[in-house]
Amino acid sequence: MSVENARWDIPAGMPCWIELVTTDVPTACGFYGRLFGWEFEEHDDPREGSHVIAHRDGYPVASIRESADGRSKWRLFLATPNSAVTAAEAGKLGGQVVVPRSRVPGLGVKMVLTSPSDDEFGLLEPDAQWQFDVGLPGTLVWAELVTIKAQTADHFYGGLFGYTGEQFGTDHLSDYEVWYLGGDSVLARVSMIRDHISPDAHSHWLVYLGVDEEIGTDEMVRAAVALHGRIRVDPYDCSLGRVAVLRDPMGARFALVDPSQATDYGSAGNDDPYDD
């Protein structure tokens, strides 16, 4: 499924871009390029700085840029028709702008904020030429906010985008909430288990990247390890598919998922979200 030329048949609050912020762009390109077959196009914008756009079969799937704080992480962008208005609303709910508005040619106007649940997210006003491949091998399939402040996150994102939630599991034990827009599930929120939270744990987004069913999650995990990735959660079966959680060579956490192996039991809440 490719999302393109949407310009406003995409609902506000829908995931519409992912970006890897990394301490080593060339190594990251090598890792993800070999793992998913991504190809890369370099950009050098006066305001946005140098960054790389990753493509799969000619369609954009992600951007990669240098980290400013020495940490590597995946960043999720959510759609908005007007980032300035949405940022102002976010401010009323306790959000703060950390990267100001800038235009990326072919992508749109973007900015980055922090929420009162201590996570970071992006806003994107897609350009008319915007394209984003999703739901396929090597592309975004699902995303979860793993957070210490679950109720704060529910209030903030629900207030900002109008998400409705359905909770699975037990509070403080296995608290997993799926967020919906217009009846469609778009994201989930995972609560860190209090007894397992370490002092250096951080709220973060976990992006799920698709696996070709002819290869399978287990084989992709072996390929990632051979490329110096690290396993954080061994492959397991859940309602999303067969999932594994890894870190890339620079430490950015991401998940692999083969949706063809989705089951009727379990949840995606088996992630080990603590030692960030």
Query: Do 54 and 100 fall into the same domain?
Result: yes
**Could you read off the pLDDT of 21-59 as tens digits, one per residue?**
999 999 999 999 999 999 999 987 766 667 899 999 999
Query: Do 16 and 119 fall into the same domain?
Result: yes
Query: Do 153 and 122 fall into the same domain?
Result: no
**Centroid of chain to Cα 274:** 17
Task: Indicate the pLDDT class of residue 274, thresholds 50, 70 and 90.
Answer: very low
**Could you read off the pLDDT of 2-16 as tens digits, one per residue?**
444 444 478 999 999
Domain region containing 154: 140-261
Query: Do 147 and 257 fall into the same domain?
Result: yes
Q: What is the pLDDT of residue 49?
A: 66
Task: Indicate the pLDDT class of residue 194, thresholds 50, 70 and 90.
Answer: low
Residue 257 lies in a domain: yes
Bridge-based pairing of strands 253-258 and 204-210 is parallel
Q: Find out whether 246 and 209 touch, Cβ atoms under 8 Å.
A: no
Residue 256 has pLDDT above 70, yes or no: yes
Query: Do 144 and 117 fall into the same domain?
Result: no
Residue 195 has pLDDT above 70, yes or no: no
The first and second tokens of residue 236, run together, are 């397991």
When the pLDDT of each residue in the chain is averaged and rounded to a whole number, the result is: 88
Among 133, 168, 186, the domain-final residue is 133
Residue 32 lies in a domain: yes
Query: Do 108 and 19 fall into the same domain?
Result: yes
Query: Do 224 and 172 fall into the same domain?
Result: yes
**Could you read off the pLDDT of 200-222 as tens digits, one per residue?**
678 899 999 999 999 999 999 99
Task: Indicate the pLDDT class of residue 263, thresholds 50, 70 and 90.
Answer: confident
Residue 79 lies in a domain: yes
Q: What is the pLDDT of residue 219?
A: 98
Residue 249 lies in a domain: yes
Among 103, 133, 163, the domain-final residue is 133
Query: Do 161 and 198 fall into the same domain?
Result: yes
Rounded to an integer, the average pLDDT of 225-241 is: 96
Q: What is the pLDDT of residue 178?
A: 95
**Could you read off the pLDDT of 96-106 as tens digits, one per residue?**
999 999 888 88
CA distance 214 to 221: 14
The first and second tokens of residue 118, run together, are 């201590």
CA distance 87 to 80: 10
Rounded to an integer, the average pLDDT of 173-184 is: 86
Query: Do 73 and 94 fall into the same domain?
Result: yes
3-state SS, residue 58: coil
Query: Do 254 and 149 fall into the same domain?
Result: yes
**Could you read off the pLDDT of 91-150 as tens digits, one per residue?**
999 999 999 998 888 889 999 999 999 999 999 999 888 889 899 999 999 999 999 899
The DSSP annotation for 208-273 comes to: EEE--TTT-HHHHHHHHHHTT-EEEEEEEEETTEEEEEEE-TT--EEEEEEGGG--SS--STT---
CA distance 76 to 62: 10
Query: Do 13 and 120 fall into the same domain?
Result: yes
Q: What is the pLDDT of residue 91?
A: 98
Residue 170 has pLDDT above 50, yes or no: yes
**Could you read off the pLDDT of 54-77 as tens digits, one per residue?**
999 999 999 999 998 899 999 999
As a three-state string, the secondary structure of 81-137 is: CCHHHHHHHHHHCCCEEEEEEEEECCCEEEEEEECCCCCEEEEEEECCCCEEEECCE
Residue 237 has pLDDT above 90, yes or no: yes
The first and second tokens of residue 12, run together, are 């506000």
